[in-house]
Amino acid sequence: MAFRFHDTLTGATRDFEPREPGVVRMYNCGPTVYSSPQIGNYRAWTFVDVLRRSLELGGYDVRQVMNLTDVGHLTLDEIESGEDKLEAASRIEGKTAWEIAQHYIDEFFEAVARLNFARADEYPRATDHIAEMIEIVEGLIASEHAYVTDAGNVYYDVSSFPAYGHLSKNKLEDLDAGARVGVLDEKRHPSDFALWKRDEKHQMQWDSPWGRGFPGWHIECSAMSRKYLGDELDIHTGGEDNVFPHHECEIAQSEGFTGKTFVRFWLHNRHLLVDGRKMSKSGGTAYSFEDVMARGYSARALRYLLLQTHYRLPMNFTWQALDAATSAVASLDVAVRGMVEDATAAGDAALSATCDRLDAAFLAALEDDLNVSAALASVHELKSLANKHGPFSASDAARVRATWERFDSVLGLDLLATAAAEPETHADDAEIQALVDARTAARVARDWGRADELRDELAARGIKLEDGADGVRWSRA
RNA sequence: GGCGGCAUGGCCAAGUGGUAAGGCAACGGAUUGCAAAUCCGUGAUCCCCGGUUCGAAUCCGGGUGCCGCCUCCA
């Protein structure tokens, strides 16, 4: 297998080789659980899911960890105000910070299931790993990468880590020049970032060598990735906004602590735009997963839409595009469901070679820095082939299904299962069936007026009819 | 102000030197009692200007527009 990925740190697209042959250790930035993620976040996680599934299709054993950040991000403003996002949500919603976190974690996993994301091996919560964070902070202090202030706060000394800024291509001088003024004289450099904040009034607080308080934002990822994947990761992902400061700080922490190269490949996805503009809460375009579902779209259509654009390109979300994705998924369902297998059918000599070619093209596209858009061309070519083909011999049908399975192992659209699934039952099924039968009777009697009237009536109830050679099939819109 | 990215037909979107994948929509045809689904067919010279080259959407220079990061954000 020959994957190539674009690495943010080196700025180059390089041949991918994990440290241990055949095994990929991957850490993904997950949700911060103080509010509902918007669909842009789901773009990031769809990318992660497709990446993980592609690596598995390519034969790798993937060890995947996605963090759940359930402590508030400790940022400059929050040091000043003493209130982080979780605390703010707690105040506004009238629940404890712990309740807020749990609520949004539950919501996240609901979406994970509906979007058919393969489950990571671990979803560690920051609040369960305070001891591991303290261990690293102590180590950083011992090695003089960090210092404790008179107030009992601990900061990372960025001047102690020459590579600080390499990931984001920032120069320390430029960062310092743009730094905000007026606060935090206790920091030695404006760019020093907090590892531990002493605060006995904070809802979430723990004992530490520096007094009761809570950890900084970046340290949990250094601690949890190390605990579950070791000191050296093959892949670390996140949205482009995480490049700085989050991942920049992680490198400083992890490498400052272990002295080893933290990550071999940094993969960052570009943001999702809405109608060509940045998503905005005030503009009403920061749609959540639930918002999209509430408009009647399927999670499968959203998944298809999110995965069809290359992850390193800005993607433009429009409702029209989601309509197109809905149609595209439906057409795949028709093709899979419509395959007819006939034991007496003659074998198609060319079929196997065609499937081999599509299989190879699909994987080759994914290997090329996860070019899903190009891979989809193979998927639709198989769709077209299946639609055009007459009855398949048993072995040909098996060959085509195997290709659908390979494709779907990455697409995650449950194509075969959806095609094979029995329709959901509803209370009025018998009633609908009676109307359908009545229409069939009218058609047999060549009473087209009555037949169309019944079809209109069914359509009004959301029923779509398809008159096929083997009878009428109906489905709910 | 510093750093970086993008601009391909109505919409979404591949394609980094050899004469533009794919999806959705639209239109014409086949099929259908009429539809639906499916099949066949139809459409772009790639933001603008200049340059390099036998040849550029692809390289270089200059514009225009949009997006991102510069301590909230996937």
Structural domain that includes position A467: 429-476
Given pLDDT bands bounded at 50, 70 and 90, which one contains residue A317? confident
Same domain, A255 and A311: no
pLDDT mean over A444-468 = 90
| Ranges A90-104, A229-243, A258-272: which has the least confidence | A90-104
Same domain, A324 and A265: no
Which of A246, A269, A292 terminates a domain? The answer is: A269
| Ranges A162-171, A205-214, A433-442: which has the least confidence | A162-171
Instruction: Name the closest nucleotide to A468, judged by C1' and CA.
Output: B37
Length of chain A: 477
**Can you tell me which residue has its alpha carbon closest to the C1' of nucleotide B24?**
A324
Closest by Cα among A225, A217, A218, A223 to A27: A225
Structure tokens at A194: 């907090």
pLDDT at A380: 94
Question: Could you write out the DSSP letters of every residue in A118-134?
Answer: PPPSB--BGGG-HHHHH
Question: Could you write out the DSSP letters of every residue in A197-232?
Answer: EE-SSSSS-B--TT-SEEE-STHHHHHHHHHHH-S-
Instruction: Name the closest nucleotide to A372, judged by C1' and CA.
Output: B14
Q: In chain A, how many domains are there?
A: 3
Instruction: Name the closest nucleotide to A312, judged by C1' and CA.
Output: B5
- CA/C1' separation A132–B71 (Å): 24
Same domain, A32 and A68: yes
pLDDT at A34: 83
Of A86-100, A219-233, A345-359, give the range with the top mean pLDDT: A219-233
Q: Please give the ipTM for the structure prediction.
A: 0.90
Separation between Cα atoms, residue A196 and residue A211, nearest integer Å? 10
Cα A395 off chain centre by: 36
Same domain, A167 and A224: yes
Tens of pLDDT along A376-385?
A: 999 999 999 9
pLDDT at A315: 85
Same domain, A302 and A393: yes
Which of A420, A444, A459 terminates a domain? The answer is: A420
Same domain, A256 and A294: no
Separation between Cα atoms, residue A362 and residue A447, nearest integer Å? 50
Cα A183 off chain centre by: 37
Same domain, A114 and A207: yes
Cα A126 off chain centre by: 19
Tens of pLDDT along A47-87?
A: 999 999 999 999 999 999 999 988 865 554 455 555 566 66
Beta-strand ranges (E) seen in A270-309 are: 272-274, 277-278
Separation between Cα atoms, residue A256 and residue A140, nearest integer Å? 7
Same domain, A253 and A349: no
Angle between helices A39-57 and A299-307 (to 10 degrees): 70
Same domain, A61 and A133: yes
Of A23-27, A89-93, A346-350, A443-447, give the range with the top mean pLDDT: A23-27
Separation between Cα atoms, residue A51 and residue A234, nearest integer Å? 13
Separation between Cα atoms, residue A103 and residue A107, nearest integer Å? 6
Instruction: Name the closest nucleotide to A320, judged by C1' and CA.
Output: B11
Q: When comparing pLDDT for A278 and A240, which is higher?
A: A240
Given pLDDT bands bounded at 50, 70 and 90, which one contains residue A2? confident
**Can you tell me which residue has its alpha carbon closest to the C1' of nucleotide B2?**
A174
Q: Which nucleotides of B are covered by protein (CB under 7 A)?
A: 1-6, 10-15, 21-25, 32-40, 66-74
Same domain, A375 and A238: no
Structure tokens at A300: 């499968």
CATH number at residue A350: 1.10.730.10
Which of A269, A288, A309 terminates a domain? The answer is: A269
Same domain, A303 and A404: yes
**Can you tell me which residue has its alpha carbon closest to the C1' of nucleotide B71?**
A245
Same domain, A177 and A246: yes
A184 pLDDT higher than 80: no
Tens of pLDDT along A292-304?
A: 999 989 999 999 9
CATH number at residue A146: 3.40.50.620
Alpha helices in A58-180, H assignment, sequence order: 76-81, 85-93, 97-114, 130-142, 172-178
Q: When comparing pLDDT for A422 and A232, which is higher?
A: A232
pLDDT mean over A142-160 = 92
